[in-house]
């Protein structure tokens, strides 16, 4: 983290978990446990049907609600899809874009890029996910792969918009597996991502972009990961489903300003 230059962001990704009633119950508990300090931005990205319950429960808090996906088109014949203006109207401030689980369902780099443009156009903060597979890591092409994903994702994004973007580095082999990247491994890639952004947008912009780590981050390993200079937060799946664990991760982000 480096709170002098950029925000720390602790974001939950609930994936396909919890019903609207369970969402309501979760936030009743969470609001009782939530730290009062403001050392990080707190975000919860929930299934689309849970958004109203989350927005209602968090109305009087500073926690931002996000969606887990969006469609790049403004409206029209896209059965089952959700447009960015619908998310904004429902009370969302964030949207996860390009999660590896969605890429595995066929989402391309071009789709990710189009969704980022749509989100920024609607004033939603995109949490843009990138990450390599185990095969790619073992083949030694992690840096090339991530560089390509970042360049494709940000193609055509204007310099004044880039400040709104949050990047999440999520090695696919670490997601939901209990195999966390070591702090050194995660830092190395997050630092490399910042270098790619620096080359595209300059040092001042790159210094201000929050880059999160995701992949089996939990209440035990969060502090060490978040202590790395280029890891500005976490995108947390499994551990965000249990209020006490998510709260402990938020507390782990309360580290001295570098
Ligand atoms: P995990 O998921 O924390 O359960 O590994 C992270 C993510 O996929 O965003």
pLDDT tens for the 258 residues of the chain, in order: 999 999 999 999 999 999 999 999 999 999 999 998 899 999 999 999 999 999 999 999 999 999 999 999 999 999 999 999 999 999 999 999 999 999 999 999 999 999 999 999 999 999 999 999 999 999 999 999 999 999 999 999 999 999 999 999 999 999 989 888 999 999 999 999 999 999 999 999 999 999 999 999 999 999 999 999 999 999 999 999 999 999 999 999 999 876
pLDDT tens digits for range 118-133: 999 999 999 999 999 9
Q: Please, how many CA atoms are within 13 Å of residue 168, restricted to the half-sphere of its CB?
A: 28
Q: Atom 2 (ligand 1): residue with closest C-alpha? A: 237
- CA proximity to 247, closest of 61, 10, 21: 10
- CA proximity to 96, closest of 124, 131, 63, 68: 68
Q: Atom 7 (ligand 1): residue with closest C-alpha? A: 237
Q: Give the pLDDT confidence score for residue 258 in this predicted structure.
A: 63
Domain layout of the chain by residue ranges: 8-253
**Domain 8-253, architecture per CATH:** Alpha-Beta Barrel (3.20)
Ligand 1 midpoint to CA 162 (Å): 24
Mutate to test the pocket of ligand 1, among 11, 12, 13, 234 (most ligand atoms within 8 A of CB): 13
Alpha carbons 244 and 219: distance in angstroms, whole number: 9
Q: Atom 1 (ligand 1): residue with closest C-alpha? A: 237
Is 144 one of the annotated active-site residues of the chain? Answer: no
Task: Let me know the angle formed at the C-alpha of 42 by 57 and 244, rounded to the nearest 5 degrees.
Answer: 75
Alpha carbons 118 and 160: distance in angstroms, whole number: 15
Of ligand 1's atoms, which has the minimum distance to the CA of residue 238? 4
Instruction: Write the CA distances from 68 to 77, 86, 104, integer angstroms.
Output: 21, 13, 15
Q: Give the pLDDT confidence score for residue 60 in this predicted structure.
A: 93
Ligand 1, CB within 6 Å, residue ranges: 13, 170, 175-176, 214-217, 235-239
- CA proximity to 16, closest of 72, 96, 90, 108: 96
Is 99 one of the annotated active-site residues of the chain? Answer: yes
């Amino acid at each position: 983290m480096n709170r002098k230059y950029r925000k720390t962001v602790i974001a939950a990704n609930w994936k396909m978990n919890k019903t609207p009633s369970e969402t309501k119950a979760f936030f009743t508990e969470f609001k009782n446990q939530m730290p009062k300090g403001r050392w990080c931005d707190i975000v919860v990205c929930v299934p689309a049907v849970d958004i109203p319950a989350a927005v209602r429960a968090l109305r009087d808090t500073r926690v931002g609600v996000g969606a887990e996906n969006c469609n790049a088109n403004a409206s029209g014949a896209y059965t089952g899809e959700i447009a960015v203006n619908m998310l904004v109207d429902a009370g969302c401030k964030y949207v996860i874009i390009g999660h590896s689980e969605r890429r595995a369902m066929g989402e391309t780099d071009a789709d990710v890029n189009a969704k980022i443009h749509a989100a920024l156009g609607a004033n939603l903060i995109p949490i843009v996910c990138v990450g390599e597979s185990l095969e790619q890591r073992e083949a030694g092409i992690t840096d090339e792969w991530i560089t390509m994903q970042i360049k494709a994702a940000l193609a055509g994004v204007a310099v004044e918009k880039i400040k709104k973007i949050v990047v999440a580095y999520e090695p696919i082999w670490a997601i939901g597996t209990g195999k966390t990247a070591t702090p050194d491994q995660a830092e190395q890639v997050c630092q490399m991502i910042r270098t790619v952004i620096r080359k595209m947008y300059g040092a001042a912009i790159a210094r201000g972009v929050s880059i999160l780590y995701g992949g089996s981050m939990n209440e035990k390993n969060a502090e060490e990961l978040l202590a790395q200079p280029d890891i500005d937060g976490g995108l947390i799946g499994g551990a965000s489903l249990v209020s006490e664990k998510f709260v402990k991760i938020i507390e782990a982000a309360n580290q001295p300003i570098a």
